[in-house]
């Protein structure tokens, strides 16, 4: 699916997604990702089943207001203890499938929110 939206230059926007990839500013990215307004990095987790507390607590360094956890093709919820460090720091964690996380990221970014997308591949 191709998405259209525009914000200021230098900000990451999801411009599309499909089987096994997302497009950020029309550039294709594959695999699990951490996306902020100004950075895209691999998320060093192999699969949903391999998630650990450290995968979420590492996001604290990005100082987000909210983390969008994209769980791949389908919505899956991890054990709350995995994201407890974020919740205990007052950071919201919203879980949704990765496509919904991409769309929500763009909306929150347009509102100038400090949003981080932690995405498992579609």
Tens digit of each residue's pLDDT (9 = 90 or more) over 77-116: 999 999 999 999 999 999 999 999 999 999 999 999 999 9
Please tell me the distance from the alpha carbon of residue 117 to that of residue 104, in angstroms, as a whole number: 9
State residue 2's pLDDT score. 53
DSSP state of 2: B
pTM above 0.75, yes or no: yes
Distance (Å, whole) CA 110 – CA 32: 23
């Amino acid at each position: 699916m191709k998405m259209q939206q525009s914000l200021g230059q230098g900000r990451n926007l999801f411009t599309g997604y499909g089987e096994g990839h997302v497009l950020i500013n029309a550039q294709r990215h594959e695999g699990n990702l951490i996306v902020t307004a100004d950075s895209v990095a691999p998320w060093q987790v192999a699969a949903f089943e391999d998630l650990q507390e450290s995968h979420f607590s590492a996001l604290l360094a990005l100082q987000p207001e909210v983390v969008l956890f994209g769980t791949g093709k389908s919505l899956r919820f991890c054990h709350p203890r995995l994201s407890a460090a974020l919740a205990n720091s007052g950071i919201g964690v919203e879980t949704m499938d990765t496509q919904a996380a991409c769309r929500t990221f763009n909306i929150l970014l347009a509102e100038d929110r400090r949003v981080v997308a932690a995405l498992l591949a579609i």
